[in-house]
A and B are shown apart, each in its own frame.
Chain A
Amino acid sequence: MANFTLRVNGRAQTVDVDPATPLLYVLRNDLDLHGPRFGCGLGQCGACTVIVNGNTVRSCVQPVSQVRGEITTLEGLSANGTLHPIQQAWIDEQVPQCGYCQNGQIMTAKALLDRNPNPTDAQIRQGMAGTLCRCMTYYRIHAAIKRAATLRLASLPQGRPEGPSRDEVQS
């Protein structure tokens, strides 16, 4: 066991665990942050995704001793009680079915939009490809990412007006 100080969602927290412990179990069991979830323990599905220094990290295969920098979990996306535009888009599009994987979908989408504020269809497919959903909500996730991109661009001074939702485009 050893002490590690982690900066999570803007707060420094110290835990006393085995250095090889995957970050996931520290977040869930020691810090009570339940956004990231166990899906495979192999870094394959994305359910455990957190953001470290702007990059997505699969916390189920990341030893706590190797984590450096600011960790953001799903709980850390909203600020002062206001949902992040991606979370709002997820609600507006009513994306989840069971919702178990959605932590990974939302966190991966956030990193994607931070890199590329206005992704094309192909870039969304590519950027999200390794994040699995077993209820197959992919179609609504794509709509929500586009909606979130629009919301974020609209909030900029030179932003564009909010676009139609997927349903409105179709009807």
Chain B
Amino acid sequence: MTTRRDFIRTSGFLVVSASALPLELVAAQAAGPYPDPDFRQLDSWIVIRQDDTATFFVGKTDLGQGTGTAFRQIMADELDMPYEATSCVMGTTDVTVDQGGSGGSDALQTDGYPMRRVAAEARRVLLDMGSQRLGVPVGQLTVSGGVVSVTGDPSKRVTYGELIGGRRFNVTLTGANTDATTGVAKLKTTQELKIVGQSPQRYDIPPKVDGTAKWAVDAKVPGMVHARNVKPPIAGAKLVSVDESSVKGIPGFLRVVTRGNYVAVICEREEQAIRAARQVKVNWEKPAAAPFPSSENLFTYMRSATPTFSAPPVATGNAETAIAAAAKVVEADYEVPFQGHVSLGPAHALADPSNDQLTIYSNDMKSYGLRNGVAEFLKIPRDRVRVIWLEGSQAYGRTAADDAGFEAAFLAKEIGRPVRVQWMRNEETAWDTKGPAYTIKMRGGLDAQGNLVAYDYDARAADHNHLGYNEFDTVLIAQLANQRKAQPARGGAATPSDMYVVPNRRMAVHVVGLPLVWETPLRTGNLRDPNGPQVTFASESFIDEVAAAAGADPVQFRLKLLTASTADDSGFKRARSIAVVKAAADAFRWDTRPSPKKRDSGNILTGRGIAYAYRNQTVVAQIAEVEVNRRTGRVWVKRFVIAHDCGLIVNPEGLKRVVEGGTLHTLSRALHEETRFDTEKVTSVDWTSYPTLTHADTPERIDVVLVNGDPNPNRPDLPHYGAGETVCKPTMAAVANAIFDATGVRLRRVPFRDARVLAALKAANV
């Protein structure tokens, strides 16, 4: 048996690279089994070689936001090694500890700490070893750049590689779980960190632009064959029969595999499998009842449906009484449709059943969950399954329910050969997991002085049976193969996460279900801040509507609601919110006045809008400057200013790009994206029927203002909070508010496609 240790020792590749294990080495590696790396052993996290290089093994994945680079920065900093001498291996279940993979923007906020602690512990141990080697107490040693030397006598020195290279630390760590992993060393203070706060370039970018990167789609092993799925043509249809003779003549055809309503074809070559999947004659039985209303009737349906779940309202004061007594009442209904992940690279995986084990090559962001789920789904012992994580296409929650990984594993076990499966475009766009649709009713009351004294939020999310994290009984193949769990997941709906102070506030949420609960393409999952854009579209549009009703400037109105105080925790959050809103307004050179502005005379109407959000300690304020074409209805965001505070920033240049990407992703959802369906099937099946943001929509200018502002100089510096998802919250509202400022027309239904905007302008005689 080849151990992980042998593998690391022999694989020089790791020294100079890379985000992932080299495929050929892995394929040639261990025949299994694959026990879990022990997170309580320092050697599971860090390997230092005789050539003074180090590799970090972390149980996270990088979805393209540069988290791998950030992990190297924080660990190299604690370890006192040059960043350039380090590399990082992520998310591969038999060589990296289980940190759960990625999700929730928690990579640095939560998982960064065990990474820092184990690196600090390694430094402590190396200093002890250096003390013995050099014959002086630790207190008289200096460590820098992976070299331990006697303070004041740099000629007496020894490198980390000389101290430990090629040998094990054999240091046991403590902690109840991976997140709590720790040694006895203390972390550095923020002031002592040197690599954190710099912007080394992402190590994964050069191979991605010269074509040498190894992606999960590139995984290939000897004897591999290709599979394609055949999806039910109508949601909820039952498989009656397959006419295998319809594809027997296709060169390379191997088999049609069915299980329940799951159908796949397998051929020797990829193009053969694609042809067979199109050509195979399958007899389906149409369901008796319509699986869902059409997308045109979705919101009517959602408002009239009996909720499957209602949470007890969150209330302060008495909103109802205060609205009744208010000088002015504002009411509005907001709607956000289902929107897809619509990953550019459809779902894919390769499963290899060689040696009576199962190796899955996957871009699953939660590779550990895939491993556990597949083991349960196929009833294989966990230690015979491993997932090798490789780079993949945009996965902002999509691969948390990694259908293709399960399908490849199932098919490989079924035919006893390595099987690569990839979804086609129409499957991915129609059947991927969706962000839940929302209808939100909001009411507010202003007193005679224009203060917001009452606030009522009532939301319905079409989120019944929200998918979990690679649970073996919820992924699509489990549903189609009738191996699903008995009870659907409850699902959820969220409330606004602002820090506004309103004396009477009530927030209620409900979940509704569609008629077809299982085997449906309208499956909800976690789409980049799963409820944030929808909720914040309503809440931050509404604050703007109330400000307009009060005749107040939108920034000033928000600042008034964020009455600052640092006396308690929520006061501290409000103070940080104020700092961020002000930073955005200052950078934009916001002129204080109510919205809407006096309308421009030409065809192009211009305006600006702000929205702000708080998520899990991270604060964002966005200002959009728009041009609305009065003749065509086209909306172009010419400029964004985004102020962002996620505490201590590890890599400012990397963070800026994450903030830009998240903003434009949500701009795409604001302007274009809507999953359309009739009463039988999803009709959004490609890039024409599911349009997204294009180069032509790109803003002329984006200014990201990194605040990292603790407004209280007496506090210690803020820790590293998460980034990536908070920025998705305010964009839809910022754009809607800017459109209102430009035109005086309020859009309460996403997306703001040209035809919808034009109709709204015409209805208002703009």
* A residues whose Cβ falls under 8 Å from a Cβ of B: 1, 17-18, 20-22, 25, 28-29, 33-35, 37-42, 44-45, 47, 73-75, 77-78, 83, 87, 90-91, 94-103, 106, 121, 124-126, 128-142, 170
By the criterion CB–CB under 8 Å, are B209 and A106 in contact?
yes
Given A99-B391, A132-B692, A121 and B422 contact (CB-CB distance below 8 Å):
no
Which residues of chain A come closer than 8 Å to B30, judged between CB atoms? none
Closest 3 CB pairs of A and B: A98-B64, A136-B664, A100-B393
Tell me if B65 is interfacial: C-beta within 8 Å of chain A.
Answer: yes
Report how far A25 CA is from B271 CA in the complex, Å: 7
Further 19 A-B residue pairs, CB within 8 A, beyond A29-B270, A134-B393: A18-B271, A25-B269, A29-B220, A34-B215, A37-B215, A75-B210, A75-B212, A90-B205, A95-B209, A97-B658, A98-B63, A98-B391, A100-B345, A125-B695, A129-B696, A134-B394, A136-B665, A137-B660, A137-B661
Report how far A131 CA is from B695 CA in the complex, Å: 8
By the criterion CB–CB under 8 Å, are A133 and B344 in contact?
yes
Which residues of chain A come closer than 8 Å to B657, judged between CB atoms? 94, 97, 137, 140
By the criterion CB–CB under 8 Å, are B205 and A91 in contact?
yes
Nearest CB on B from A148, distance (A) = 11
Interface 1/0 per residue, B640-660 and A, CB below 8 Å = 000000000000011001101
Report how far A44 CA is from B344 CA in the complex, Å: 11
Report how far A101 CA is from B217 CA in the complex, Å: 13
By the criterion CB–CB under 8 Å, are A34 and B211 in contact?
yes
By the criterion CB–CB under 8 Å, are A134 and B658 in contact?
no
Report how far A25 CA is from B210 CA in the complex, Å: 19
By the criterion CB–CB under 8 Å, are A21 and B209 in contact?
no
By the criterion CB–CB under 8 Å, are B695 and A124 in contact?
yes
By the criterion CB–CB under 8 Å, are A121 and B692 in contact?
no
By the criterion CB–CB under 8 Å, are A138 and B665 in contact?
no
Nearest CB on B from A111, distance (A) = 14
Tell me if B239 is interfacial: C-beta within 8 Å of chain A.
Answer: no
Complex interface residues of chain B between 681 and 711 (CB less than 8 A to chain A) = 686-688, 692-703
Interface centre among B209, B271, B424, B698 (most CB of A within 10 A): B209
By the criterion CB–CB under 8 Å, are A44 and B215 in contact?
no
By the criterion CB–CB under 8 Å, are A83 and B210 in contact?
yes
Task: Give 7 A-B contacts (CB < 8 Å), ordered by A residue.
Answer: A94-B205, A94-B657, A96-B64, A97-B661, A102-B208, A134-B343, A138-B693
By the criterion CB–CB under 8 Å, are A142 and B698 in contact?
yes
Interface residues on B, range: 35 or more
Which residues of chain B come closer than 8 Å to A101, judged between CB atoms? 344, 393
Which residues of chain B come closer than 8 Å to A96, judged between CB atoms? 64, 205, 208-209
Report how far A37 CA is from B144 CA in the complex, Å: 44
**B668 — nearest CB in chain A belongs to which residue?**
A136
**A104 — nearest CB in chain B belongs to which residue?**
B344
Given A99-B208, A100-B392, A121-B700, A38 and B345 contact (CB-CB distance below 8 Å):
yes
Partner of B653 from A28, A40, A94 at Cβ < 8 Å: A94
Given A35-B211, A73-B211, A74-B211, A29 and B687 contact (CB-CB distance below 8 Å):
no
Partner of B667 from A78, A99, A136 at Cβ < 8 Å: A136
Report how far A102 CA is from B215 CA in the complex, Å: 13
Which residues of chain B come closer than 8 Å to A130, judged between CB atoms? 694
* B residues whose Cβ falls under 8 Å from a Cβ of A: 63-65, 201-202, 204-206, 208-215, 217-218, 220, 251, 269-272, 274, 342-346, 391-395, 422, 424-425, 653-654, 657-658, 660-661, 664-665, 667-668, 686-688, 692-703
Which residues of chain B come closer than 8 Å to A103, judged between CB atoms? 211
Report how far A120 CA is from B209 CA in the complex, Å: 24
Report how far A170 CA is from B639 CA in the complex, Å: 12
Given A91-B205, A134-B394, A136-B665, A100 and B215 contact (CB-CB distance below 8 Å):
yes
Which residues of chain B come closer than 8 Å to A73, judged between CB atoms? 211
Report how far A71 CA is from B202 CA in the complex, Å: 30
By the criterion CB–CB under 8 Å, are A99 and B211 in contact?
no
Partner of A29 from B269, B395, B658, B694 at Cβ < 8 Å: B269
Given A87-B209, A96-B208, A125-B698, A139 and B391 contact (CB-CB distance below 8 Å):
no
Main secondary structure on A side of the interface with B:
loop
By the criterion CB–CB under 8 Å, are B692 and A134 in contact?
yes
Partner of A44 from B345, B661, B686, B696 at Cβ < 8 Å: B686
Given A42-B425, A139-B660, A98 and B205 contact (CB-CB distance below 8 Å):
no
Which residues of chain B come closer than 8 Å to A141, judged between CB atoms? 695
Report how far A133 CA is from B511 CA in the complex, Å: 32
By the criterion CB–CB under 8 Å, are A136 and B210 in contact?
no
By the criterion CB–CB under 8 Å, are A45 and B344 in contact?
yes
**B64 — nearest CB in chain A belongs to which residue?**
A98
**B654 — nearest CB in chain A belongs to which residue?**
A94
Report how far A134 CA is from B64 CA in the complex, Å: 12
Partner of A90 from B209, B345, B654, B694 at Cβ < 8 Å: B209
By the criterion CB–CB under 8 Å, are A129 and B694 in contact?
yes
Which residues of chain B come closer than 8 Å to A142, judged between CB atoms? 695, 698
Report how far A170 CA is from B702 CA in the complex, Å: 9
Which residues of chain A come closer than 8 Å to B703, judged between CB atoms? 170
By the criterion CB–CB under 8 Å, are A140 and B660 in contact?
yes
By the criterion CB–CB under 8 Å, are B661 and A135 in contact?
yes
Which residues of chain B come closer than 8 Å to A170, judged between CB atoms? 701, 703
**B653 — nearest CB in chain A belongs to which residue?**
A94
Report how far A99 CA is from B343 CA in the complex, Å: 12
By the criterion CB–CB under 8 Å, are B211 and A135 in contact?
no
By the criterion CB–CB under 8 Å, are B218 and A100 in contact?
no
**B342 — nearest CB in chain A belongs to which residue?**
A134
Report how far A90 CA is from B205 CA in the complex, Å: 8
Report how far A97 CA is from B271 CA in the complex, Å: 29
By the criterion CB–CB under 8 Å, are A129 and B695 in contact?
yes
**B250 — nearest CB in chain A belongs to which residue?**
A18
**A122 — nearest CB in chain B belongs to which residue?**
B696
Nearest CB on A from B204, distance (A) = 7
Report how far A98 CA is from B668 CA in the complex, Å: 17
Which residues of chain A come closer than 8 Å to B344, judged between CB atoms? 39, 45, 47, 100-101, 132-134
By the criterion CB–CB under 8 Å, are B209 and A102 in contact?
yes
Which residues of chain B come closer than 8 Å to A45, judged between CB atoms? 344, 687
Which residues of chain B come closer than 8 Å to A135, judged between CB atoms? 64, 394, 661, 665
Which residues of chain A come closer than 8 Å to B695, judged between CB atoms? 124-125, 128-129, 131, 138, 141-142
Which residues of chain A come closer than 8 Å to B664, judged between CB atoms? 136, 138-139
Interface centre among B425, B702, B703 (most CB of A within 10 A): B425
Which residues of chain A come closer than 8 Å to B251, judged between CB atoms? 1, 18
Which residues of chain B come closer than 8 Å to A44, judged between CB atoms? 425, 686-688
Interface centre among A21, A96, A142 (most CB of B within 10 A): A96
**A170 — nearest CB in chain B belongs to which residue?**
B703
Which residues of chain A come closer than 8 Å to B215, judged between CB atoms? 34, 37, 100
Report how far A82 CA is from B699 CA in the complex, Å: 32
By the criterion CB–CB under 8 Å, are B394 and A98 in contact?
yes
Interface centre among B393, B695, B696, B702 (most CB of A within 10 A): B695
Which residues of chain A come closer than 8 Å to B345, judged between CB atoms? 37-39, 47, 100
Report how far A100 CA is from B425 CA in the complex, Å: 15
Which residues of chain A come closer than 8 Å to B392, judged between CB atoms? 98, 100
Report how far A170 CA is from B220 CA in the complex, Å: 45
Given A45-B344, A134-B393, A97 and B698 contact (CB-CB distance below 8 Å):
no
**A106 — nearest CB in chain B belongs to which residue?**
B209
**B667 — nearest CB in chain A belongs to which residue?**
A136
Report how far A37 CA is from B694 CA in the complex, Å: 19
**B270 — nearest CB in chain A belongs to which residue?**
A25
Report how far A37 CA is from B693 CA in the complex, Å: 20
Interface centre among B212, B391, B698 (most CB of A within 10 A): B698
Nearest CB on A from B301, distance (A) = 29
Report how far A4 CA is from B33 CA in the complex, Å: 44
Nearest CB on B from A52, distance (A) = 17
Report how far A29 CA is from B221 CA in the complex, Å: 11
**B69 — nearest CB in chain A belongs to which residue?**
A94
**A40 — nearest CB in chain B belongs to which residue?**
B425
Which residues of chain A come closer than 8 Å to B697, judged between CB atoms? 138
